[in-house]
Structure 1
């Protein structure tokens, strides 16, 4: 293990999410107990203390401009972004620290601050699944990966929401000191060293905006009411009284997918909800309209990179239904 001091500068601001700051800091602090030497400093744009998203005051060590060149610059997020634009002083402070840092990292909506400096242009990045679309809209030059837990592009790292900052910090510790140290830190903090799957597994069903077209909205109603029904292209077109060509065009233009894949996505969301309620994977597959458990397993593997059983162990409620 390298004994060199590694300076970590965390730029906090009013409305910052406390766990975005404390989660990574705890990872670095735990690594210090194993022989690392991370020196964590909290800085703000002016050097004044800030107030977190839960109203807790955070004392800072100084201003961003006064901070010595950091080895790692970490930009935490908060609910303030993307609801409001990134202020000029915050963007300038982030740009200054990033320009002097060996590597750059953000947690959750901290990616919007990095984006405001131009640091994400031409780079792969991620953020919380709920606001990934907004990151794409604001920073179209960034290559946003909405399902990733964290993304590395060169010396720039971005992570998904809140606890994903812990995943990111563990990856940074592994980069600095190897897998044995990061594994021991994860064990000490009782967290996964490397979570399987992407952040889609944490999102609620059918969170996207409803289709604009009445015909496509009807598809959601039809499949939700009777997931096991016949929803071939011809059958859907007949029920909606439109041609198959017109229906296919609607799906392509409005949703960017095919009718079959969209029906499958609704069934997939239904199956996830049933697993959350405690139904067995086989029963959930049947109730959600999948022809077999194996077909459900293939969709889970494609969409979440985990099995239905692994998903259920992580997210099922205590309530269990008896399989019929």
Structure 2
């Protein structure tokens, strides 16, 4: 039975513990207690979260054989660990099949020397600090999660769920992983290389009507997505919709739709081998020329250049 050891450090954030749900649900989906779970710290005892609530932990040395070692920290990068604590973490990592640093837990992995010469990510806010503090680490600040051999790192706290599903998929296959994602009501399971930035989040509509129209656009990119179509989804007249949309998002519906198409196209380019023509068609651009012009406006590079960069990375 693979044992998942979740290691907490002072000031850890409770949301990081959400990753345990992916393993619990995997047990439920398979109808078998495939994983066992445990909460640990280097020395054991109560561990205070960032909100001041204590959580009991066992000493890491008493964990028994560890399959998956999960390193969890807080909303800010953890302080340098003591020599004794680092030694305990390194000992556990040496026998574990895989190690993952969730969000700022990547700093713990870096302190342990696990990321030297490897690609890694963390929350985009803290990526410059990780790069500066650990120059031997190849920091990629715009990835959801990264797998380098037996070492994994993930972005902001919710990205830990995406990483957890990926770990389940590695162990139990894509069907179980998809079932776990559905049970967690994950609207969209993000690939590791996907950008940490979401166009829907950045547009930030405040009303249900505009949010509904944007979700319709995101899931129907091959449609024309005219103002009339989106206004009908929002149950507004085209004039009312355009005015409300600009007030809530700061841009026109046409510009927002283009940004959603670009986000989807870039993900397809990075995570698939579809031809450029297929990517343009699947994301609703009229033709490859229109997609190329949109990429040049947004990214300053043509789509094929971004694909080469992604593959080189």
TM-score normalised to the size of structure 1?
0.62
For the 8 Å contact 1:114–1:120, the answer to whether it is kept is: yes
CA distances 1:245-270 after superposition (whole Å, capped 9, x unpaired):
xxxxxxxxxxxxxxxxxxxxxxxxxx
Instruction: Give the equivalent residue in structure 2 for 1:49.
Output: 46
- Of residues 185-194 and 116-125 in structure 1, the stretch that sits farther from structure 2 once superposed is 185-194
User: Counterparts in 2 of 1:240-279, with a 5 A limit?
Assistant: 277=249, 279=251
- Of residues 196-205 and 138-147 in structure 1, the stretch that sits farther from structure 2 once superposed is 196-205
For 2:29 and 2:22, the matched residues in 1 are separated by 11
Instruction: Give the equivalent residue in structure 2 for 1:239.
Output: none
TM-superposed CA distance for 1:67, in Å, is 1.3
Residue 40 of structure 2 aligns to a residue whose secondary structure is strand
- Say if 1:55 and 1:13 are closer, same or farther in 2 by CA, change over 3 A: same
1:115 aligns with 2:122: no
User: Counterparts in 2 of 1:298-309, with a 5 A limit?
Assistant: none
- Say if 1:175 and 1:58 are closer, same or farther in 2 by CA, change over 3 A: same
For 1:276 and 1:27, the matched residues in 2 are separated by 35
For 1:302 and 1:194, the matched residues in 2 are separated by 28
Residue 182 of structure 2 aligns to a residue whose secondary structure is helix
Point out the structure with max Rg over C-alpha.
Answer: 1
Instruction: Give the equivalent residue in structure 1 for 2:128.
Output: 133
CA distances 1:12-44 after superposition (whole Å, capped 9, x unpaired):
1220111112x2101111111012511011111
For 2:130 and 2:246, the matched residues in 1 are separated by 31
Instruction: Give the equivalent residue in structure 1 for 2:75.
Output: 79
For the 8 Å contact 1:281–1:293, the answer to whether it is kept is: no
- Say if 1:44 and 1:184 are closer, same or farther in 2 by CA, change over 3 A: same
**Structure 1, unpaired ranges of 5+:** 206-272, 287-291, 306-324
For 1:19 and 1:73, the matched residues in 2 are separated by 17
TM-superposed CA distance for 1:95, in Å, is 1.2
Instruction: Give the equivalent residue in structure 2 for 1:166.
Output: 161
User: Number of residues paired by the alignment?
Assistant: 225
For 2:43 and 2:299, the matched residues in 1 are separated by 48
Residue 176 of structure 2 aligns to a residue whose secondary structure is helix
For the 8 Å contact 2:10–2:73, the answer to whether it is kept is: no
Which of 18, 35, 38 is equivalent to 1:38? 35
For the 8 Å contact 1:75–1:94, the answer to whether it is kept is: no
For 1:143 and 1:203, the matched residues in 2 are separated by 28
TM-score normalised to the size of structure 2?
0.64
Instruction: Give the equivalent residue in structure 2 for 1:282.
Output: 254
For 2:300 and 2:195, the matched residues in 1 are separated by 11
Which of 85, 88, 93 is equivalent to 1:93? 88
- Say if 1:142 and 1:283 are closer, same or farther in 2 by CA, change over 3 A: closer
Residue 73 of structure 1 aligns to a residue whose secondary structure is strand
For 2:300 and 2:178, the matched residues in 1 are separated by 27
> Considering only aligned residues, what root-mean-square deviation do their CA atoms show, in Å?
3.1
User: Counterparts in 2 of 1:199-238, with a 5 A limit?
Assistant: 199-201=196-198
1:156 aligns with 2:141: no
**Structure 2, unpaired ranges of 5+:** 203-244, 259-288, 304-313
- Say if 1:296 and 1:104 are closer, same or farther in 2 by CA, change over 3 A: same
Residue 34 of structure 1 aligns to a residue whose secondary structure is helix
CA distances 1:33-91 after superposition (whole Å, capped 9, x unpaired):
0125110111112110111111222122x201121121100001213425x33343432
